[in-house]
Structure 1
């Protein structure tokens, strides 16, 4: 057993309202304390330096997902069949089904649809002038494109969006948000199960293909439902978060918007920078299957639960120059906002297409953005997002 007198220890509460509202100073404190820091409040280890996070995400044999990615046993049991809670070779086989829908070949026919929707969205914002960056902007492409791609029945779409927003809370430690998230997650699972059992998915979409694979015996009913649930939560919440954050970041950094207007080809790197500096999914948990030595020599003992922090790694000054600055043409291209290794975000290609299309379209018509009211954060154990963000178009 590790002697805690020999390792960095912290009593920081990463899940308090104060820290969730602005976590980056706490991340810095933990990074500066060591490659791995024992959080005594939660009996977990925090990994926050870029080098160590990237290594942990690659080394699934040591930092395993198959005991769940949450910080409580209830969610880890409930999500047992979700793709993010599987290791290779099971994960590899199941992910092939996702890649058939979200790989480059499959997404290519969607390009014109996404571009057209992005141009229409940009024009609508110009016409509105005053808008909410979440409801009026960020919801448009993820809902319109992803809902069709998956093939959810029209009548369940509004409910799925609302339920997806709070479900990540269930992966946190035992607190009020976690308990609320479990109730939300249960409601979402019941809705998905109803669609599955009554075969109501729209023909040709990802959901109908998963359901058909289940009926043919390639996967179980529970696996199909679990995979659909995992995709819902990730696909909506993360892209919506990045979209809304883009308005906030460009309003606060008008020179960066002017860079994009002068060179629309920077839209791709702008999307990456948004995901770096405001990582939509801040942290996931892993189970340490064997003693793991970090880059500074700290050893995490086998059997430990760890927090692997994408958001902390993406602000690490050991990896990024001026990590707290939003720079759309920064030289350091690699970041972990979409994850890394076997569990790298399966939907990142689609997310990048949506973000790039929107920025390209808006750069042609919009001179800038202003935040016109108090931003409201949607405090969440895992994700970082706005609930509302009043804004104004500068024509």
Structure 2
């Protein structure tokens, strides 16, 4: 049997965080499994292998953490992201109640009204900064309200969320710099985001109500706050920003969407496929297992490179082309299986509301300035200034 190919590529340099796609293509070409010697990880970079792993939680376990650094993984064992059924099922059931499609229908009028206001205001100006003025608006107004955190916590949510994502990689300078903010968030979750200090009708309060009913342990509530703060903010903000950038770069696709609004769900899927905000998580094998004919030993940590799989030429024809008629509903940006993103319906609702209204009022976007986000767990832009041509 051929040896597993080895690569000493570093996925956490600044250039790799800004643009990892050549590295991903190199890994896909090497084989279905590649050993990343820098981090003692086996990487799955092709679509079929990543999807199969996501659908097999019994073999590809999250219970020993889903990040890279062993210390961080040990600290996070037992949170929703870093657990398996039945524990994971119980926590996910509680977390997901306010995020179900039927509950999203209840908040849709509010999200659409806020989208109307922000888009009208920005389009009238003729140019704006997409991240802070457009993409952050709905998560930081509507969603932070729905979670029901105290005001002084909301002001820090973006800083805390970015810091938490920075701990996803190795123990490097970015992770070290994130430490104080992560500690500050955990202190807030333990001492301030508690009954008596949070909105009694908010999602955070519902965690404690579920604990009172015995559905989850009380001790889980503070760390479960992570599940409302981190996924509901950065990934959605990045997804909105990436979509605008892609439409600016591909005006023919914007014309298609403006002519046919039924393409909005497919445009969202295609932008998430092409520019995946959370490009990887890891798992640990619970038993000896073959991946693509390659034997891996129990206990091996395996990185699932979602963003690479979403550009796998074996699965998507011409994968680097932005094509909103592609309809890639099988993309892996939200994960799959047991750990599929619990907030994906909310993210889609926010993106749909903004794209619908932008399509009404904008004929063209022109990128004036852009800057990549450099973060160990996220990928996208942290600055995107655009000028717009108003619709006739």
Report the Cα offset of residue 166 of structure 1: 2.4
Contact kept in structure 1, 2:372 and 2:383, CA below 8 Å = yes
Mapped partners of 1:183, 1:369: distance in 2: 38
Do structure 1's residue 193 and structure 2's residue 190 form an aligned pair?
Answer: yes
Contact kept in structure 1, 2:266 and 2:327, CA below 8 Å = no
> 2:173 maps to what in 1?
176
Contact kept in structure 2, 1:139 and 1:240, CA below 8 Å = yes
Mapped partners of 2:362, 2:113: distance in 1: 17
Mapped partners of 1:290, 1:130: distance in 2: 55
Contact kept in structure 2, 1:81 and 1:222, CA below 8 Å = no
Contact kept in structure 1, 2:94 and 2:210, CA below 8 Å = no
Contact kept in structure 1, 2:270 and 2:328, CA below 8 Å = no
Question: Pairwise CA RMSD of aligned residues?
Answer: 1.5
Mapped partners of 2:328, 2:213: distance in 1: 46
Mapped partners of 1:319, 1:13: distance in 2: 25
> Which of 381, 384, 387 is the equivalent residue of 1:389?
384
- TM-score when scaled to structure 2? 0.96
> 2:57 maps to what in 1?
60
> Which of 318, 323, 328 is the equivalent residue of 1:322?
318
Mapped partners of 2:194, 2:339: distance in 1: 28
Mapped partners of 1:329, 1:259: distance in 2: 9
> 1:363 maps to what in 2?
359
> 2:77 maps to what in 1?
80
Aligned residues: 390
> Which of 225, 228, 233 is the equivalent residue of 2:222?
225
Do structure 1's residue 308 and structure 2's residue 312 form an aligned pair?
Answer: no
Mapped partners of 1:112, 1:198: distance in 2: 28
Contact kept in structure 2, 1:122 and 1:362, CA below 8 Å = yes
Report the Cα offset of residue 217 of structure 1: 4.2
> 1:347 maps to what in 2?
343
- TM-score when scaled to structure 1? 0.95
Structure 1 runs (4+) deviating above 4 angstroms are none
Do structure 1's residue 153 and structure 2's residue 150 form an aligned pair?
Answer: yes
**Residue segments in structure 1 that go unaligned for 5+ positions in a row:** none
Where does 1:95-110 land on structure 2 (aligned, <5 Å)?
95-110=92-107
Report the Cα offset of residue 301 of structure 1: 1.5
Listed one character per residue, the Cα deviations across residues 312-367 of structure 1 (whole Å, up to 9, x for unaligned) are 11000111011111111114431001110000000000101111111111111111
Mapped partners of 1:100, 1:213: distance in 2: 11
Where does 1:215-254 land on structure 2 (aligned, <5 Å)?
215-254=212-251
> Which of 41, 44, 49 is the equivalent residue of 2:41?
44
Listed one character per residue, the Cα deviations across residues 16-38 of structure 1 (whole Å, up to 9, x for unaligned) are 11111100110010011111100
Contact kept in structure 2, 1:170 and 1:180, CA below 8 Å = no
Mapped partners of 1:100, 1:217: distance in 2: 16
Do structure 1's residue 377 and structure 2's residue 372 form an aligned pair?
Answer: yes
> 2:123 maps to what in 1?
126
Mapped partners of 2:316, 2:282: distance in 1: 24
> Which of 332, 335, 339 is the equivalent residue of 2:331?
335
Which has the larger displacement, 305-314 or 206-215? 206-215
**Structure-2 change in CA distance of 1:307 and 1:313 (3 Å):** same
Secondary structure in 1 matching 2:255: helix
Which has the larger displacement, 61-70 or 119-128? 119-128
